[in-house]
Chains A and B, each alone.
Chain A
Amino acid sequence: MTNNSVHFLLNNDVVSIENIDPNLTVLQYLREVQFSTGTKEGCASGDCGACTVVLAELDGDNNEQLHYKSINSCITFVGNLHGKQLITIEDLKEQGKLHHAQQTIVDNHGTQCGFCTPGFVMSSFALHKHNNTPTRAQVLEALAGNLCRCTGYRSIIEAAITSSIGVDDDSFAKHYQQTVQTLTELQKLPTPVLTGNGHHFIAPKSIDELAYELVREPKATLVAGGTDLALSVTQHLASIDKLVYVGNVAALSTIEETDSEIVIGSALPYSKFIDTLHHYYPDLGDMIERIGSKQVRNNGTLGGNIGNASPIGDMPPALIALGATMTLHVNGVERTILVEDYFVDYKKTVLKPSEFIKSVQIPKPKTGQILKLYKISKRIDDDISAVLAAIFIAQKDQKISHVRIAFGGMAAIPKRAFAAEAELQGNCLTKDTVAQAKQALTLDFKPMSDVRASEKYRMRVAQNLIEKCFVELQSQTIATRVVNYA
């Protein structure tokens, strides 16, 4: 049973949309359909955060809580709003009085040209909804996807770090229960479908429904967060005929732990699994904090990052090094493969027509196993890696008993460094073996030059990262990384 419209809360009003092209982004919807121009277009590619809005969605064990998340409205398709509350800059002022997230920016002289400001306000608003007294690090994490060209950020940081204790009884808090109730009702509606301008969108609610939809329409485009896919529409002016949204399939948005594995649903956004992974693999948690921005991590998913098979996706090298597996599903039939075996060639995978990624299984570390991850990019925040190195290593009796090394950015696909591994496996970790492993990398990879880095730099850094790993394993007291140096 389907329902020919998408329903969501626009602040406190239930809105249903139909006959709208599902290629429309939330930003276009706000500015061109609602004539709400407070939300700005800075780049239409999810890189600047000027368009940041907040979505509140049901969360918690019984779906009785609201989770407020900042997203880039410029790369979120309007269908993704179904069953959620959309909060924009226009909704924050209450009876003419500025919201805490707004007043603190005024008080700290945090606006100059003001064009990025609505985005910063919304990011700060979302942060404070879950954290009244954020630390500097938490503020930076929440605002790293918002670019400001005028202020130099100091004033904005001071604004966002200002405690909101005692001023958190805003209109959203007052309407909390009512919002939960309305969203619960919207969630009960039949599967939403949106058709407009000859293009279609459907948001299946179950795995069976999703599988059926993909069998029926093998050429349909799967969309999760859309943080990459939407660029084809906003930057390359493409139109997608049939979008199948996976974010409404509850069974794809889970995270579970077994004795030996962490099982992550393919449609679960990064922000929902970062803490678990950080617990088992601190480097992985730290690295995920540098994937895109908060807005991207709130929408972007593991399934999407693997699924689009980019040579510069940050998760695949880590998953390959860890020996993670993934479960693929087609029409009721499932198979489980190594993530490593998923990638065939540039943007080519083993995924069959109508097949989709259901989950990813990450092994928990065994005693002695350490994952070292290094993301090299021009900028620390919100940048795409020139090189990503993942080294999963264990030593026993002074010898390397286990090693798997994978790199991103070094080849057309994320790929193991077999030759380098061979130099290390079973040997003592010494300067000589490290030098040999570094040398062996030239057999593993022939990187290319592009706007991010030269081939020469990629190779040299990849080699040096093996050396860095060695230095770190030798001594845990010496600081070796600038990213988190304080």
Chain B
Amino acid sequence: MRSLINVKKSGVDKAKTNADKSVVGGQDNVGLGGVGRSKKHESADKQVSGEAIYVDDRPALRGELHAAVGQSAHAHANIIAMDLSAVKAAPGVIAVITVDDVPGHTDIGPVFPGDPILAIGKVEYVGQPIFAVAATSYDLARKAVKLAKIEYETLEAVLTVKEALAKQSFVRPPFTMKRGDSDTAITKAEHQLSGEITVGGQEHMYLEGQVSTAVPTEDGGMNIYTSSQHPSEVQKLVAEVLDIPLNKVLVDMRRMGGGFGGKETQAAPWACIAAILADKTTRSVKCKLGRMDDMIMTGKRHPFENSYTVGFDSHGLIKGINIEVNGNCGISPDLSDAIVDRAMFHSDNAYFLDQATVTGNRCKLNTVSHTAYRGFGGPQGMMTIEMVMDDIARYLGKDPLEIRKINLYGKEQRNETHYHQKVEHNNLAELIDSLEESADYQARRKAIIAFNANNPVLKKGIALTPVKFGISFTVQHLNQAGALVHIYTDGTIHLSHGGSEMGQGLNTKVAQIVAEEFQVDVDTVAISSARTDKVPNSSPTAASSGTDLNGKAAEAAAKTIKKRLIDFACEKYQVTAEQVKFANNNIIVGEQTFSFAEFSQLAYMGRVSLSSTGFYKTPKIHFDRATAKGRPFFYFATGASVSEVIIDTLTGEYKTLRTDILQDVGHSINPAIDIGQIEGAFIQGMGWLTTEELVWNEQGHLLSNNPATYKIPAINDTPEDFRVALLPDAPNREHTIYNSKAVGEPPFMLGMSVWSALKDAISSLTDYKHSPVLDTPATPERVLWAVEAAKAVLCAEKK
């Protein structure tokens, strides 16, 4: 294993130089504030010492109660009778609620209706909340819930995508994006291929489960302490279920123990239930889901079933393609419209599809409603086209890397997507060339062929896969953010912004941005909870947009105050604005130097407002859903990875031996944090495609409902040789914050290189003449069946 520090390959040393020297905005500017430097995570010291407070760690208020939620045992059933008398009589139980006890709205669907807070007469998936209790302890609450007697009349349940498609059971209408005449192009092409792939879903498995505490306030309002990526939505939904105005609900979100999209909409129900119980009992109520409940009751990454028909020439160049993506949305719309849209937007990944038709179906099934998860449909969309690349390569007897390269978007031509956005500033060709060289792809390809020839049991495979990921919420109004900056009279700064910290280092980066503006030590910028009374109407922290949006908003707030300070200096000391400089924790005014603290005090005495809001909205973006044309993305984040794997052809077991990644993060605001995001995203993406298997039984019960049966990557799954580098000297050509690029989601999809490498290893059995079908997750079982299918092909050919 090697970290960035001791990697010797070209680009990497330069990336490290960037990290050390702080190249900002294209100028060498060793900024004290720290933009461009590997500042440690603002909570690191607290996290390693157990001092970082998560919602469940907050001291209980006097009389605080604990909630537990009664769940549906059926995938689809009418509730005939419900006897909760034993629940009410159970030890410690103070209150029991059903939907009849909800004072206000009973539907908490985030965009479209469809998510009853508690079941209304019927249940539509296993694990659907039916009633909730508040008891004096967590254990008593959980035990009480088990005493409910509910009589069901079971109804027919839709439990597969195929059934949903046959019945046209959709949560939202189908949608098509189209460029040119794909049918004709496919027919006219020299070669045609078609295929299908099932792409599994994914449990978020944030280490901290869902949790919220609701505290009633003196004026009939509610304070909510929650682990949520979307405090403003929690505020709105709590207000609605309680039937009180938004200004009486305050949501405080200090940190999450992981989110990954799983706390974008899925945190709200538990906050709402806690609030209803708190309202009813006038006591503080904490609602925390145990791990198994969390896994059963909350939505996951959408499983998809996709298919394609492609036409291509003898070089492997795509001439036309039809792609259908079918998302398993579960029972309600939730965010599925946008998620399936994003799968469609990313059905090209990095490739020019020429004449293309991409259709997306939003299948409605009787399972928990699937939801946001890092990549938001993008990964599931990309899988199809990456399958196409491998399939074309095997068909033509070429290395898949060659096929990937020739199909990349061009710079001046061949640069329009199937939704008619121009792909600008495309650097993937150079990035891939650089990675191919630094990862020694060609030599290793040869070594692998030799290894495979000499080992009858184990086979190796290698693959290089790129990622091009569109940055912006595709729902336009979400692309806005607010921030609030205060300077106190001792020169310390307090910063609030609308984003929420889930470990991604957002608070650290935004603090660096504010410190950079004032040229003060980043330690002087305090940042605490995201609170809805500090920054209102915030968007979810999602879509990789946290730093892009909130960083710009915070910068705007800081710039406003900075301008006031400069104006004050000009007036008081009769200097020009150019003579006022912020440097090294000082403000230099002409010949005089003041410490930042001194000058803050002076400004205060001079009656200068030292507090300001800041606001940002992403420019340039638009998309017309009626014509399926526009520019939904401000820019694209790109990267590529090479993975080498080894498989056991007798058992299907495998291991990732080495992974090299080159990721474009623009001018990195914090290289250490960016590398952490890339490494973590890659491993999470690899887990999604390999060991993480969601299994539902024929009654719609989730069988993989705990970490003993659902296996996320553990420490031995990290490749021993793991080389991650940031693309050097690559400022974002769009005017993002310090010309950085978003990093949260894009590297997740680099995990596809592991899946493709597994297929490469399997393909070696047929001398690379056949492209194995490998649905995901590619568990050892699926790999073994693919191996056996390859062996069967070989046998058939010999006969």
Contacts and interface: CB of A to CB of B under 8 A. Distances in A.
A149 B684 contact: yes
Tell me if A's interface is mostly helix, strand, loop or mixed.
Answer: loop
Interface in A446-471: 450-454, 457, 460-461, 464-465, 467-468, 471
Interface residues of B, number: 94
Interface in A144-178: 144, 146-158
Contacts of A37: 50, 53, 56-57
A191 interface: no
Interface string A345-365: 000000000000000000000
Given A378-B779, A379-B714, A452-B709, A485 B655 contact: yes
Interface string A77-115: 000000000001110110000100011011011011111
A471 B679 CA distance: 37
Contacts of B51: 38
Given A114-B255, A157-B715, A38 B49 contact: yes
A468 B50 contact: no
B207 A113 contact: yes
A310 interface: no
A451 B291 contact: no
B711 A457 contact: no
Interface string A394-424: 0000000000000000000000000000000
Interface string A39-51: 1111111011010
B604 interface: no
Contacts of B59: 35
From A92, A379, A453, name the one whose CB has the most chain B CB atoms within 10 angstroms: A379
Interface stretch (B138-146, B329-337, B380-388): B138-146
Contacts of B684: 149, 152
Interface string B450-469: 00001111100000000000
A334 B204 CA distance: 51
Interface in A361-388: 374, 376-384, 386
Most chain B beta-carbon neighbours within 10 Å: one of A112, A378, A465: A112
Interface stretch (A2-10, A247-255, A300-308, A476-484): A476-484
B198 to A, nearest CB: 15
A381 B714 contact: yes
A323 B425 CA distance: 68
Interface string B768-799: 00000000000111001100100000000000
Nearest to B40: A106
B54 A115 contact: yes
Interface string B652-687: 111101000000000000001101100111111000
A93 B49 CA distance: 7
Contacts of B646: 482, 485
B208 A40 contact: yes
Contacts of A374: 651
The secondary-structure label for the interface of chain B is: loop
Nearest to A237: B143
Interface in A309-332: none
A467 B784 CA distance: 15
B657 A485 contact: yes
Contacts of A39: 50
A179 interface: no
A38 B50 contact: yes
Contacts of A116: 207
A118 interface: yes
Q: Which of A93, A113, A485, A486 has the most chain B CB atoms closer than 10 A to its own CB?
A: A113
A138 to B, nearest CB: 12
B711 A383 contact: yes
Interface stretch (B107-115, B408-416, B591-599, B717-725): B717-725
Interface stretch (B180-188, B543-551, B627-635, B699-707): B699-707
Contacts, number: 264
Contact of B207 (A48, A235, A467): A48
B498 interface: no
Contacts of A379: 691, 711, 713-714, 717
A268 interface: no
B240 interface: no
Interface in A8-58: 35-45, 47-48, 50
Contacts of B647: 482
Contacts of B48: 98, 102-103, 105-106, 111, 114, 117-118, 121
A42 B208 contact: yes
A244 interface: no
B293 to A, nearest CB: 10
A374 B653 CA distance: 11
A117 B258 contact: no
B175 interface: no
B104 interface: no
B503 interface: yes
Nearest to A122: B50
A450 B707 CA distance: 15
Contacts of A457: 652, 781, 784-785
B3 interface: yes
Contact of B54 (A40, A376, A480): A40
B504 interface: yes
A156 B679 CA distance: 12
B491 interface: no
B707 A154 contact: no
A451 B653 contact: no
Given A114-B52, A379-B691, A486-B720, A149 B260 contact: yes
A140 B780 contact: no
Contacts of B707: 42-43, 45, 47-48, 147
Contacts of B715: 140, 143-144, 146, 148, 153, 156-157, 381
A11 B505 CA distance: 33
B257 interface: yes
Contact of B50 (A48, A89, A453): A89
B47 A117 contact: yes
B54 A483 contact: no
Contacts of A219: none
A118 B143 contact: no
A130 interface: no
A153 B207 CA distance: 14
B38 interface: yes
A41 B292 CA distance: 13
B45 interface: yes
Contacts of A237: 139, 142-143, 146
Interface centre among B51, B59, B503 (most CB of A within 10 A): B503
A290 to B, nearest CB: 9
A136 interface: yes
Contacts of B40: 106, 109
Interface of B: 1, 3, 38, 40-41, 43-54, 56-57, 59, 139, 142-143, 146, 204-209, 255-260, 290-292, 454-458, 502-505, 646-648, 650-655, 657, 672-673, 675-676, 679-684, 691, 693, 695, 703-704, 706-709, 711-718, 720, 722, 724, 779-781, 784-785, 788
Interface of A: 35-45, 47-48, 50, 88-90, 92-93, 98, 102-103, 105-106, 108-109, 111-118, 121, 136, 140, 143-144, 146-158, 235, 237, 374, 376-384, 386, 450-454, 457, 460-461, 464-465, 467-468, 471, 478-483, 485-486
Given A112-B676, A113-B207, 19 more contacts: A98-B49, A109-B41, A111-B41, A113-B256, A114-B44, A117-B48, A121-B48, A147-B205, A148-B207, A149-B684, A149-B712, A152-B676, A152-B682, A157-B715, A381-B714, A450-B703, A460-B784, A482-B654, A482-B655
30 contacts: A37-B53, A37-B57, A43-B707, A47-B706, A48-B707, A102-B48, A109-B40, A111-B503, A112-B41, A112-B505, A114-B44, A118-B48, A143-B715, A147-B207, A149-B684, A150-B680, A152-B684, A155-B676, A158-B3, A376-B651, A378-B779, A379-B691, A379-B713, A380-B714, A383-B711, A453-B781, A457-B781, A457-B784, A482-B647, A485-B655
Going nearest first, the 4 A-B pairs with the smallest beta carbon separation are: A38-B50, A113-B503, A115-B257, A114-B47
